[in-house]
């Protein structure tokens, strides 16, 4: 083999090795659950940061959507314990899954729709509860019984479900909620609705697309993560 051909072969081998190393580096950087964007709420925070993690970041910020449908799963970090609550009942407060503001407001705490969730420590078997949740002119609307409950094993198993919240019903007077999917040993297909206080307001006006949120009143007592695919 000539010196030139040896150098050419060496260059090609180095190029192939570089591609392999870059690919391995990217896979390592993406972390677990590649393709699922990761929400992370730091201790002492309400709002989450987002890591696309090799996938697509969820909708966030100003938008004109009138619905959100996404796949989401909790992990064991959702089993939080508030040891220094701002108010005594803060362990019972609902945290929030992604949603949107409405009625011309950017502030979801005034008008908007989303799912609420919380980790229950006071039940015979600890569980995660999910409810339909809306705000009507600052009044919090949610049911007395959960729309969906996940056992501790189901939370630890990291099973994705499809969540949907949208404006609909007669004259766009409702928020319509649904959760669908499969858990070990059972299927999930639940739905609910809550009133929308501004049916005459356009469904495609400016809104704020929210993310994964802790609280309630207290901030996250530990790092809490959630995993989402949207869009």
Burial of 149 (0-12, 13-18, 19+ CB in 10 A): middle
Average pLDDT score over residue span 205-216: 97
pTM: 0.86
Average pLDDT of the residues of the chain: 90
Cβ partners under 8 Å of residue 146, min gap 6:
129, 130, 131
Closest by CA position to 135, among listed 83, 79, 196: 196
- pLDDT tens digits, one per residue of 174-201: 999 999 999 999 999 999 999 999 999 9
pLDDT class of 7 with cuts at 50, 70, 90: very low
Average pLDDT score over residue span 51-71: 97
Determine the 3-state secondary structure of 28 from DSSP.
Answer: helix
Which two tokens mark 183? 């858990």
CA separation for the pair 100, 87 (Å, rounded): 26
pLDDT class of 14 with cuts at 50, 70, 90: very low
pLDDT class of 32 with cuts at 50, 70, 90: confident
Decide which of 191 and 5 is more confident: 191
- pLDDT tens digits, one per residue of 92-135: 999 999 999 999 999 999 999 999 999 999 999 999 999 999 99
CA separation for the pair 152, 139 (Å, rounded): 31
- Position 30 scores a pLDDT of 57
Closest by CA position to 163, among listed 107, 93, 94, 114: 114
pLDDT class of 75 with cuts at 50, 70, 90: very high
Cα 64 to Cα 97, 137, 196, 198, 231: the distances in Å are 18, 20, 17, 16, 14
DSSP state of 88: T
């Amino acid at each position: 083999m000539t010196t030139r051909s040896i150098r050419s072969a060496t260059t090609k081998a180095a190029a192939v090795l570089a591609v392999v190393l870059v690919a391995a580096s990217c896979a390592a950087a993406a972390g677990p659950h590649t393709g699922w964007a990761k929400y992370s709420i730091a201790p002492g925070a309400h709002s989450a940061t987002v890591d696309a993690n090799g996938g697509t970041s969820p909708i966030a910020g100003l938008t004109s959507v009138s619905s959100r449908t996404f796949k989401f799963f909790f992990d064991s970090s959702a089993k939080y314990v508030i040891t220094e609550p701002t108010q005594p009942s803060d362990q019972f407060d609902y945290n929030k899954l992604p949603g949107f503001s409405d009625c011309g407001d950017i502030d979801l705490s005034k008008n908007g729709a989303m799912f609420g969730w919380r980790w229950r420590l006071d039940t015979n078997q600890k569980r995660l509860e999910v409810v339909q949740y809306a705000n009507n002119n600052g009044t919090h609307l949610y049911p007395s019984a959960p729309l969906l409950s996940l056992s501790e094993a189901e939370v630890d198993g990291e099973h994705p479900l499809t969540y949907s919240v949208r404006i609909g019903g007669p004259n766009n007077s409702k928020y319509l909620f649904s959760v669908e999917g499969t858990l070990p040993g059972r299927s999930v297909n639940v739905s609910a609705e809550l009133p929308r206080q501004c049916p005459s307001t356009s469904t495609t006006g400016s809104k704020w697309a929210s993310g994964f949120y802790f609280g309630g009143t207290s901030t996250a007592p530990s790092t809490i993560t959630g995993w989402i695919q949207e869009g």
